[in-house]
């Protein structure tokens, strides 16, 4: 009998990582979830801990990674990912994007595993073209407060492709745009958890700046499907994954008030430094290469997310 395929997921107790752990278990993989729990939470994977095909290792992947036995895939998702978190942990963010990616690629090389990097739309910075295509080089302030995340991920992409070209590692790079849904931390500071938490308490919704900046929000189930398809594909270079339906933050706030039947008002707060003015993925490559596009509308996704926030508050 052939053995089950084994996957190492770094950052496996985080928002995206924990959904991926669950999906891969469902697909019949053995999952090793590695996380130092600085922004991830054990509660996200509590339901998987008793399963013999699941193993949790508490470890900081910026330090040497030791894994016994064969590994077929590495999904490198470890990193603080919300602007609040990566500004709280700037050095850890730079280390996990650089040293953590180096160590994870080292495991891929030693185990002859396929390697998927969780990259980000942040590598486009405050983009001067909209929507963003994979061949756009971006507009990043390397010394600004967001630079710690943007540059770490840009370095991680460069290192991943260097390992592909030099050591023939079979790589994937997912450029992940804003994603939301169940298991986001309520206090992670991102727009959707903040605004839903405020709406459910009938407190004012804090819209930063004039709220005309745009984002494109992808529901978690769609994102997990895209990442899984990318993992199984043969595309070595970056692919944008996100929902191309672009909204202003003001539109988002109004929608959340309506869907949560809240009595909240909207108040404005200063726009954070270097907050991108627009962001929207061009997903032609994902459509062509992976046959993937998001299926869940913002309204549907927000409804489920609001229900989850209600049930866990």
What is d(CA 36, CA 180) in angstroms, rounded to the nearest whole number? 22
Q: Binder to ligand UDP among 98, 101, 160, 194 (CB under 6 A)? A: 194
Stretch that binds ligand UDP, among 13-21, 46-54, 208-216, 225-233 (CB under 6 A): 208-216
Report the distance separating Cα 208 and Cα 60, nearest Å.
33
Site for ligand UDP contains 139 (CB under 6 A): no
- 289 contributes a contact to ligand UDP by CB under 6 A: no
Q: Is 240 in the site for ligand UDP (CB under 6 A)?
A: no
Under 8 Å between Cβ of 286 and 233: no
Using CA atoms, how far apart are residues 31 and 33, in angstroms rounded to an integer? 6
Using the rule CB under 6 A, give the single segment among 24-32, 155-163, 184-192, 302-310 that binds ligand UDP.
184-192
> Among all chains, which residue has been given the structure tokens 């899984």?
228
191 binds ligand UDP (CB under 6 A): yes
- Interface stretch with ligand UDP, choices 38-46, 69-77, 183-191, 221-229 (CB under 6 A): 183-191
Q: Are 252 and 207 in contact (CB under 8 A)?
A: no
Q: Is 249 in the site for ligand UDP (CB under 6 A)?
A: yes
Total residues in contact with ligand UDP, by rule CB under 6 A: 17
Q: Which of 29, 86, 89, 149 is catalytic?
A: 149
Q: Are strands 179-180 and 171-176 parallel, antiparallel or unpaired?
A: unpaired
Q: Does residue 179 contact residue 218 with C-beta atoms inside 8 Å?
A: yes
48 binds ligand UDP (CB under 6 A): no
Using the minimum distance from each CB to ligand UDP, give the nearer residue, 28 or 270: 270
The strand pair at 171-176 and 114-120 is best described as parallel
Residue position matching structure tokens 């070209």: 165
228 is catalytic: no
In whole angstroms, the minimum distance from the beta carbon of 114 to ligand UDP comes to 28
- Closer to ligand UDP by Cβ: residue 53 or 206: 206
Helices (H) and strands (E) in the chain, counts: 10, 13
Interface residue with ligand UDP among 215, 224, 243, 282 (CB under 6 A) is: 215
For the chain, how long is the longest CA-to-CA vector? 61
Binding status of residue 83 toward ligand UDP by CB under 6 A? yes
DSSP-based three-state secondary structure for 28:
coil
Give strand pairing partners of 179: 218
Catalytic center residues: 149
Interface residues with ligand UDP (CB under 6 A)?
A: 82-83, 178, 189-191, 194-195, 206-208, 213, 215, 249, 271-272, 275
């Amino acid at each position: 009998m052939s053995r089950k395929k084994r996957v190492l997921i770094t950052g496996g107790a985080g928002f995206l990582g924990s959904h991926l752990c669950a999906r891969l278990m469902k697909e019949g993989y053995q999952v090793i979830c590695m996380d130092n729990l600085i922004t991830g939470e054990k509660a996200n994977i509590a339901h998987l801990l008793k399963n013999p095909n699941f193993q949790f290792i508490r470890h900081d992947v910026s330090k040497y990674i030791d894994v016994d036995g064969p590994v077929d895939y590495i999904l490198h998702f470890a990193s603080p990912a919300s602007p609040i978190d990566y500004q709280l942990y700037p050095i850890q963010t730079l280390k996990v994007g650089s040293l953590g990616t180096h160590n994870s690629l080292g495991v891929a090389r030693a185990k002859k595993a396929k390697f998927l990097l969780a990259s980000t739309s942040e590598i486009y910075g405050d983009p001067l073209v909209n929507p963003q295509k994979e061949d756009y080089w971006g507009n990043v302030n390397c010394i600004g407060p967001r630079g710690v995340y943007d540059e770490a991920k840009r370095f991680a992409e460069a290192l991943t492709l260097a390992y592909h070209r030099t050591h023939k590692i079979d790589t994937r790079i997912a450029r992940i745009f804003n994603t939301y849904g169940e298991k986001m931390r309520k206090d992670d500071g991102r727009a959707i958890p903040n605004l839903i938490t405020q709406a459910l308490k009938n407190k004012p919704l804090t819209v930063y700046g004039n709220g005309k900046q745009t984002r494109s929000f992808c529901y978690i189930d769609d994102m997990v499907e895209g990442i899984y398809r990318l993992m199984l594909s043969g595309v070595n270079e970056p692919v944008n994954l996100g929902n191309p339906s672009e909204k202003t933050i003001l539109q988002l706030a109004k929608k959340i008030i309506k869907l949560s039947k809240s009595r909240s008002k909207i108040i404005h707060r200063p726009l954070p430094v270097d907050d991108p003015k627009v962001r929207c993925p061009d997903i032609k490559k994902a459509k062509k290469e992976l046959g993937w596009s998001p299926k869940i509308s913002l309204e549907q996704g927000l409804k489920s997310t609001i229900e989850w926030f209600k049930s866990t508050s």
